Structure 1
């Protein structure tokens, strides 16, 4: 628009994909999970560099959550089997349910979670699963990029909402203790507000759907 180019927003494909998602109760039934159990998603990222920086701190935070609620069940899905093997070799976490390639299903059955910033945070919002969003990169990258950032939030749901909906932690603030505290506040105080914000985000991203996109393309031909 700034360059006088005609543009039309026709919606986001994920918003249409999750337009009528299975209820958490139905998704849990598929995995034989009791409906009353609190299920917590832990998403360490899709790239090996992210997994190497995020998996351990997520597991440490999960251990703290587990000590405060020993009935909770934890799920950590990976993008690749090689990522899962690395984490399992380095950590003794028999109480974590590790899996590969099913992050969307894990988010859909979870009550709450902690995720690495990226598409996962948007998927969580569209699946109505409040999450703490965290991100760590190399110190050199952080030092170079930070002065150029002109935004007050970095997670997609917060950027779309134009305000802080989900708690965010970046770089040196990503510690097990901070994640644990942010998780508890989200779980105990801000949960319902998140769900209301998610519904608004979903509605805005759905827009008019695939037919609208087809019509826009037809007008250009």
Structure 2
């Protein structure tokens, strides 16, 4: 009796969010292919799910120009992975996010005859649209988290599957605001506003004073408001604390917490936050929010010619219209942000109607993403795993 061949899958994630996505995908693949073997680059969650990591994942965690000195090392890692997978070809390679690293790797592996899949669409629909040509060359199949992304790829003739967003599967409608407030030692009654100025050091540098000034503006007009601000590490917390003292705002009723951004938003009535993935989390929690972002004017001027969108906050992009305020660049002032928050305080009917829209959005994204992604992997693997002499059956 012939020995059963082991399915080998190469996979690379470069950040904590990708490690979480990758781990969920690996677990679901294992349910369908118990003997599957995984290797590439993954963090602790992917390694616990069975991935052999050939390099530490944190070597790839570089944002923009903040780590230019690391680029030669990163290019060296990519070249070593190319050599490794070309000399020992897997049945499939999956790049999880980090497109600046993974697309180049996928392109080289696809040329070598290795099927490639990319999980989490680059924001090619929003800016640098010319990247779609490279994606077509590099990717056999794209897995997207949002339905509008799948439509974009179909329009550009890239095979695609919309799998839903794992965060929508994780967040339930049963979270208790009262329980979250008790857990974070927040006032049981009264208005609580969550402040999320960003997770990166560079974001805190740009946003800390703006958020503190906005909190001061609101406190002067609504003395009963309590604020809660979560921080990913001591360094970002320190930057915010320095802004509190710099603005003479040490008296503000604000609770600073370590991590726990989801709990902080769940405990709040309204969220003021920097544009990014956290806006989706706030939407799934059905929270009224005000979204802002500031970058250096030089960065803004460099990026602006490549932007293809008029909406920036994910809830607005998903809705196809502005359902939450977004105040960027010159509009990001304490007065404008404060008035947008105050508008939710004084118009409860708007808050109720917004929650209805956000509930529909949550349902549209709750698709059992890990399982759907694994099924797409199995479909792409099938033609490679056909016994000799049998032609694969093409699905309609």
TM-score (norm 2): 0.53
1:88/1:172 CA distance change after superposition, 3 Å: same
Q: 1:201 aligns with which of 361, 371, 381?
A: 361
Task: Give the secondary structure class of the aligned counterpart of 1:165.
Answer: coil
Paired with 1:77 and 1:17, the residues of 2 have a C-alpha distance of: 20
User: Greater relative contact order (Cα 8 A, min sep 6): structure 1 or 2?
Assistant: 1
Q: 308, 320, 339: which is aligned to 1:162?
A: 320
- The separation in 1 between residues aligned to 2:294 and 2:255, in whole angstroms, is 23
Q: Cα distance, 1:111 vs. partner?
A: 0.6
User: Residues 58 and 90 of structure 1: is their aligned pair in 2 closer, same or farther, counting only changes over 3 Å?
Assistant: closer
- Give the equivalent residue in structure 2 for 1:132: 290
SS of the equivalent of 2:238 reads helix
Structure 2 partner of 1:112:
270
Segment of structure 1 superposing worse, 209-218 or 94-103:
209-218
Mapped contact 2:169–2:368 kept (Cα < 8 A): no
**Out of 360, 380, 396, which is 1:220 matched to?**
380
How far off its partner does 1:32 sit? 4.4
2:37 maps to which residue? none
Distance 1:55 1:90, change over 3 A: closer
Does the C-alpha gap of structure 1 residues 90 and 181 become closer, same or farther in structure 2, counting only changes over 3 Å?
closer
Tell me: CA distance 1:65–1:140, structure 2 relative to 1, closer, same or farther (3 Å). Answer: same
> Shift in Å at residue 184 of structure 1?
1.3
Show the counterpart of 1:78.
231
Matches within 5 A, 1:140-159: 140-159=298-317
> What secondary structure sits across from 1:8 in the alignment?
strand
Cα distance in structure 2, aligned partners of 1:98 and 1:31: 9
TM-fit CA distance, 1:21: 4.6
Tell me, yes or no, if the aligned pair for 2:273 and 2:279 is still in contact at 8 Å: yes
Q: Distance in 2 between matches of 1:187 and 1:158?
A: 20
Tell which deviates more after alignment, 103-112 or 210-219: 210-219
Structure 1 portions without partners, runs of 5+? none
Which one is further off, 40-49 or 76-85? 76-85
Is there any run of 5+ residues in structure 2 with no aligned partner, and where?
Answer: 1-153, 382-396
- Tell me the secondary structure at the aligned position of residue 351 of structure 2: helix
CA distance in 1, matches of 2:166, 2:368: 11
Post-superposition offset of 1:115: 0.3
Q: Deviations over 1:138-179 (max 9, x none)?
A: 100111222332212100110011110110001111110111
Partners of 1:21 and 1:127 within 8 A in 2 = no
Q: Deviations along 1:92-130, whole A, 9 cap, x unmatched? A: 324321122111110111110210110111111111111
RMSD: 1.7
1:180 is displaced (CA, Å) by 0.8
Superposition deviation, residue 61 in structure 1: 0.8
**Is 1:171 equivalent to 2:171 in the alignment?**
no
Counterparts in 2 of 1:141 and 1:125: CA distance versus 1, 3 Å: same
CA contact 1:167–1:186 (8 Å) conserved in 2: no
Instruction: Name which of structure 1's ranges 28-37 and 45-54 shifts more when overlaid on structure 2.
Output: 28-37
Match of 1:182 in 2: 340
Q: State the partner residue of 2:220.
A: 67
Is the contact made by 2:192 and 2:269 (CA closer than 8 Å) also made in structure 1?
Answer: yes
